């Protein structure tokens, strides 16, 4: 078993795609690094923390991007964002079976905040354009830094999200919430609290993650294969229904103080036991009870 | 005629002053300040149970809040200064003199108050020395201790974290002192009796359960591949080489890495049943995979570790447990075991000098010693033989006209650069400067070079037992100090010569391929893996979870 959580972005792509099929665009040898970090005398990466390219998944052509949490927490800078936008726009021309986003990002890179913010908004627009063109965009979230900030929004704009229990998804990260609202509101060092609030199991129960898999690259690969034929309904009726579902969710759980309260309200027996369950047992325990 | 019973009559007078406050032995939490005022007298020697892990925190707060007009100049004797209250007692003028062993979290404040002449330090001890002095010349008049539960007769149940309580109570109760215990609960029937009620004068139920620090939990997710490489060298180059069967590990990620590759790497070398069977060790969660794999036969512990309770209870063949099933630890006994009954100590440090002396002292902090020097010292009083002890002794004495004896293996395991790229190898320990500024008698050396048998870094193992001159010793140390200034200052020819003689051994000399040193060798790569390995019995504290 290869841990997806511990793997680097490059290892994840290698383990996810059919062996030997990945071809990288703008590889590190091209030296396309951040011009801003250079000015700030901050170490840069030759790939600016993101790997983009094409390959085969179960024999079908896909484009894929992987963010490297080991470089500035996968934060989105100008080059980083542009590489992702370029990949998404290329997909509109090439029409692959899907675009896979192996996200791991704390959001916008503060060193180049304006350029990063513009980058994130361009990614969002490119994702939506690609979806409306009928190419599914699938997010895989199981890295060490989770997926927060602008990339958290991007993830929710996509067709499907695959998470492991170790993955995290949210807008403001736990440390940001604690800093702005106080430790009484959210104790970012209470790791159990953090994971049951933004972790994969909770996101799956809320219906935000479509698949919950073990921390195993092979499990991520299988989940991505299973989602290749996702055909989203982008009709107005479907969108209205989705908005109603989200409104209803807020009404139903808005008063809950803790994820455990939500799990109880979902009718799950022994919710306190959920965090300990392995992925298979967990999916079985919550079958038919997701929000 | 001389009065031979002053201490007992003083005790009776103190008890009489407190008699109106107690119902039997019970004292209400609100009356604790009054009790302390009644039984304490200015200048008393007081032992406050500040352990490595559990803390008599309620009594510590009450002591610090006493009126210094009434109670002052107390002489505090305690093993660990862990809580802010332990320093508040001095800052508020209730106490003025201190004999202690370790002050990790409060080391900075302690140094400031010593500098301002608010605390007079008697001496800084190792645990065994301080415990020893409780029975010689530092016997407490009053002891403030900590237990999980008491019954109305004053019997105490300490739970798994027995730690220092027996030694403190024994020294106090049998020299006409007064013992006050804070407990989390008062019950009708205790699971077992750890301290007989006859040795305890007062019990008070603390409003909150006492504080315990999970000091020995290391998250395997934070172990680096360099640490895996060093762990492989320790196992193949030292444990297998000497047949190390009885040992103690320091706290740290370096030694956690060794524990975690026993079931994988050591197993692959066919070492199961040949090394690492008997331990003097806290119940490290990182040891779970090795226990489950059948490597470990026994573990005696200084204290317990939060979250390990159910696992220990389910493995009574391995751990020391009471008839009730829960663990019984004992710091004094385990320190003695670690010193005399173990063949090897291995631990990390912050600085090593050219003679192999190592120190964790840093400027502006008086951190003390704890128990590492008791473990990391050749037990010169030892007489029983074992293969590892004999081999180390032979190596140290070969070619010299000395009577045969054995020697303990004392291994210092460090990466050449520690945090913030600070070199671990230095020409001169910071301890010298600390000794001058804090007016200490000696530089605070954790492990003396003459006791160190091996220094292990990512560059290799230096076997100091085989060195015959100070110069060889210095070059052996420089030879494993890598790219630190000390390492770069080595004499290349001499280091190569030492390598030819097997005094320095690189990973390749040991037949270790560095490319094999990956995290895949760790039997658990996360805290959750440890829970899995324990069959769900290990229940880690919240801060170590990511689920």
Give per-residue pLDDT as tens, A133-174.
Answer: 999 999 999 999 999 999 999 999 999 999 999 999 999 999
Chain A residues within an 8 Å CB radius of B543: 189-191
Chain-chain contact of B546 with A191 (C-beta, under 8 angstroms)? yes
* pLDDT attached to residue B343: 98
Say if residue B171's pLDDT is above 90: yes
Among all residues of chain A, which has the CA nearest to that of B531?
A276
Cross-chain residue pair B547–A194, CB shorter than 8 Å: no
B228: pLDDT strictly greater than 80: yes
**What average pLDDT score do residues B533-544 get?**
93
pLDDT (mean) for A112-127: 96
What is the tens place of the pLDDT at every residue in A202-256? 999 999 999 999 999 999 999 999 999 988 889 999 999 999 999 999 999 999 9
B525 touching chain A per CB within 8 A? yes
CA A133/CA A129 separation, integer angstroms: 6
- Do B542 and A192 count as a contact with CB atoms less than 8 A apart? yes
Whole-complex ipTM: 0.75
CA angle B389, B335, B195 (to 5 degrees): 145
Lowest mean pLDDT among B260-264, B366-370, B498-502: B366-370
Give the distance, in angstroms, between the CA of residue B192 and the centroid of all CA atoms in the same chain: 26
The pLDDT of B441-460, averaged and rounded, is 96
Q: What is the mean pLDDT of residues B56-75?
A: 97
Residues in chain B: 547
Reduced to 3 states (helix: H, G, I; strand: E, B; else coil), residue A141 is: strand
| Helix, strand, coil percentages in chain A from 3-state DSSP, rounded to 5 | 50, 15, 35
* Nearest residue to B412 (alpha-carbon basis) of B476, B359, B352, B455: B455
Half-sphere exposure for A80 (CA within 13 Å, toward CB): 36
The DSSP secondary structure of B40-69, one letter per residue, reads --TT-EEEE-B-SSEE-HHHHHHHHTS-TT
Choice among A81-90, A180-189, B333-342 with the minimum mean pLDDT: A180-189
Query: What is the rounded average pLDDT for all residues in chain B?
Result: 96
Q: What is d(CA A263, CA A267) in angstroms, rounded to the nearest whole number?
A: 7
Contact: B547, A189; criterion CB under 8 Å: no
Q: What are the angstrom distances between the C-alpha of A169 and each of A4, A72, B267?
A: 16, 18, 40
Nearest to A166 among B519, B531, B546 (CB): B546
Residue B344 has pLDDT above 90, yes or no: yes
- Min Cα–Cα distance to chain B from A188, Å: 10
pLDDT above 80 for B546: no
Tokens encoding A228: 């290749």
3-state secondary structure labels for all residues of B458-482: CCEEEEHHHCCCHHHHHHHHHHCCC
State residue A222's pLDDT score.
98
Cβ separation of A189 and B536 shorter than 8 Å?
no
Residue B547 has pLDDT above 80, yes or no: no
Please tell me if residue B539 touches chain A, with a CB cutoff of 8 Å.
no
> How far apart, in whole angstroms, are the C-alpha atoms of residue A14 and residue A143?
15
CB < 8 Å to B228, chain A: none
Q: Which tens digits make up the pLDDT trace of B416-440? A: 998 889 999 999 999 999 888 888 8
In A, minimum Cα distance to B528 occurs at: A276
Helix (H, G, I), strand (E, B) or coil at B526: coil
Write out chain A residues lying below 8 Å of B545, CB-based. 191-192, 195, 275
**Chain B environment of A195 (Cβ under 8 Å):** 545-547
Residue A252 burial (CB count, 10 A) = 13
Instruction: Provide the token pair at B333.
Output: 């006994």
Q: How confident is the model at residue B189 (pLDDT cuts 50, 70, 90)?
A: very high
Q: So where are chain A's domains?
A: 9-169+209-231
> In A22-55, which positions are buried (b, 16+ CB within 10 angstroms) versus exposed (e)?
bebbbeeeeebbbebbeeeeeebbebbbbbbbbb
CA–CA separation, B15 vs B70, rounded Å?
A: 18
- B543 min Cα distance to partner chain A (Å): 5
- Arithmetic mean of pLDDT, B369-375: 93
Residue-wise pLDDT for B290-304, tens only, equals 999 999 999 999 999
Reduced to 3 states, what is the DSSP secondary structure of residue B294?
coil
- DSSP code for B533: H
Query: Judged by CB atoms within 8 Å, which residues 199-238 of A form the interface with B?
Result: 199, 201
Whether residue A266 has pLDDT greater than 90: yes
E strand or H helix at B358, and its extent? strand B358-359
Question: Does residue B94 have a pLDDT over 80?
Answer: yes
Q: Cα separation of B458 and A182, whole Å?
A: 42
Least confident of A119-123, A276-280, B487-491: A276-280
| Tens-place pLDDT, residues B351-360 | 999 999 999 8
**% of chain B exceeding 70 in pLDDT:** 100
* Spatial distance between the Cα atoms of A31 and A8, rounded to a whole number of angstroms: 19
B530 interface with A at CB cutoff 8 Å: no
Residue B41 backbone phi and psi in degrees, to 5: -130, 150
Q: Do B547 and A190 touch (CB under 8 A)?
A: no
Q: In angstroms, what separates the C-alpha of A83 from chain B's closest C-alpha?
A: 31
CATH number for the domain running over A9-169+209-231: 3.90.226.10
């Amino acid at each position: 078993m290869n841990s997806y959580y511990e793997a680097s972005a490059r290892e994840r792509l290698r383990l996810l795609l059919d062996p030997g099929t990945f071809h990288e665009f703008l590889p590190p040898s091209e030296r396309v690094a951040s011009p801003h970090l250079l000015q700030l005398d901050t170490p840069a990466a030759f790939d600016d923390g993101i790997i983009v390219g094409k390959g085969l998944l179960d024999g079908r052509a896909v484009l894929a991007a992987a963010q490297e949490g080991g470089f500035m927490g996968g934060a989105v800078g100008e080059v980083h964002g542009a590489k992702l936008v370029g990949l998404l726009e290329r997909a509109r021309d090439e029409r692959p079976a899907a675009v896979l986003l192996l996200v791991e990002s704390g959001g916008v890179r503060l060193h180049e905040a304006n350029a990063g913010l513009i980058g994130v908004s361009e990614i969002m627009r490119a994702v939506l354009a690609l979806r409306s063109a009928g190419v599914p965009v699938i997010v895989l979230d199981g890295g060490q830094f989770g997926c927060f900030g602008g990339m958290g929004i991007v993830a929710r704009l996509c067709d499907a999200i695959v998470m492991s229990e170790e993955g995290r998804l949210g807008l403001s990260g736990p440390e940001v919430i604690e800093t702005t609202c106080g430790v009484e509101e959210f104790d970012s060092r209470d790791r159990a609290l953090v994971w049951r609030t933004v972790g994969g199991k909770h996101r799956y129960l809320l219906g935000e993650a479509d698949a919950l898999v073990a921390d195993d690259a092979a499990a991520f690969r299988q989940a991505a294969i299973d989602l290749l034929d996702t055909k989203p309904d982008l009709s107005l009726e479907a969108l209205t229904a989705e908005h109603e579902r989200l409104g209803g969710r807020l009404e139903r759980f808005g008063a809950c103080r803790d994820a455990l309260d939500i799990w109880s309200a979902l009718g799950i027996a022994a919710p306190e036991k959920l965090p300990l369950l392995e992925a298979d047992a967990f999916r079985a325990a919550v079958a038919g009870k997701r929000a | 005629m001389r009065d031979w019973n002053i201490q007992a009559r003083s005790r009776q007078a103190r008890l009489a002053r407190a008699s109106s406050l107690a119902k039997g032995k019970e004292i209400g939490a609100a009356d604790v300040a009054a009790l302390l005022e009644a039984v304490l007298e200015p200048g008393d020697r007081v032992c406050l149970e500040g352990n490595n892990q559990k803390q008599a925190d309620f009594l510590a707060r009450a002591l610090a809040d006493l009126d210094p007009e009434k109670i002052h100049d107390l002489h505090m004797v305690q093993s660990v200064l862990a809580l802010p209250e332990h320093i508040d007692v001095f800052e508020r003028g209730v106490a003025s003199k201190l004999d202690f062993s370790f002050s990790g979290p409060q080391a900075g404040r302690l140094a400031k108050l010593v500098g301002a002449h608010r605390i007079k330090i008697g001496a800084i001890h190792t645990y065994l020395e301080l415990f020893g002095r409780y029975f010689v010349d530092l016997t407490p008049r009053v002891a403030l201790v900590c237990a999980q539960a008491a019954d109305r007769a004053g019997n105490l149940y300490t739970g798994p974290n027995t730690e220092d309580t027996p030694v403190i109570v024994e020294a106090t109760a049998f020299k006409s002192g007064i013992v006050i215990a804070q407990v989390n609960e008062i019950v009708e029937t205790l699971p077992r009796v750890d301290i007989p009620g006859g040795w305890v004068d007062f019990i008070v139920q603390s409003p909150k359960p006492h504080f315990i620090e999970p000091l020995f939990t290391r998250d395997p997710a934070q172990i680096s591949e360099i640490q895996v490489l060093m762990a492989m060298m320790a196992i193949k180059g030292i444990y297998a080489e000497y047949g190390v069967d009885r040992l103690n590990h320091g706290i740290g990620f370096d030694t956690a890495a060794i524990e975690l590759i026993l079931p994988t790497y050591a197993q692959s070398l066919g070492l199961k049943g040949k090394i690492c069977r008997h331990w003097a060790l806290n119940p490290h969660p990182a040891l779970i995979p090795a226990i489950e794999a059948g490597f470990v036969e026994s573990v005696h512990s200084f204290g317990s570790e939060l979250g390990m309770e159910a696992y220990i209870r389910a493995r009574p063949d391995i751990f020391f447990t009471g008839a009730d099933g829960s663990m019984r630890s004992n710091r004094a006994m385990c320190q003695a075991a670690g010193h005399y009954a173990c063949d090897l100590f291995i631990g990390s440090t912050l600085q090593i000098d050219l003679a192999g002396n190592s120190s964790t002292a840093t400027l502006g902090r008086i951190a003390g010693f704890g128990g590492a020097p008791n473990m990391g010292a050749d037990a010169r009083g030892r007489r029983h033989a074992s293969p590892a002890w004999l081999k180390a002794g032979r190596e140290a004495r070969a070619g010299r006209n000395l009577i045969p004896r054995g020697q303990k293996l004392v291994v210092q395991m460090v990466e050449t650069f520690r945090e913030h790229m600070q070199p671990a190898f230095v020409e001169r320990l910071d301890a010298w400067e600390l000794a001058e500024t804090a007016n200490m008698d000696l530089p605070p050396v954790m492990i003396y070079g003459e006791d160190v048998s091996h220094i292990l870094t990512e560059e290799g193992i230096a076997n100091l037992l085989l060195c015959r001159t100070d110069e060889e010793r210095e070059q052996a140390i420089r030879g494993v100090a890598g790219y630190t200034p000390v390492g770069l200052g080595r004499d290349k020819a001499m280091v190569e010569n030492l390598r030819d003689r097997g005094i320095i051994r690189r990973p390749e000399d040991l037949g270790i391929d560095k490319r094999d040193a990956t995290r895949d060798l760790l039997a658990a790569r996360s805290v959750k893996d440890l829970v899995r390995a324990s069959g769900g019995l290990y229940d880690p504290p919240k801060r170590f979870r990511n689920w």
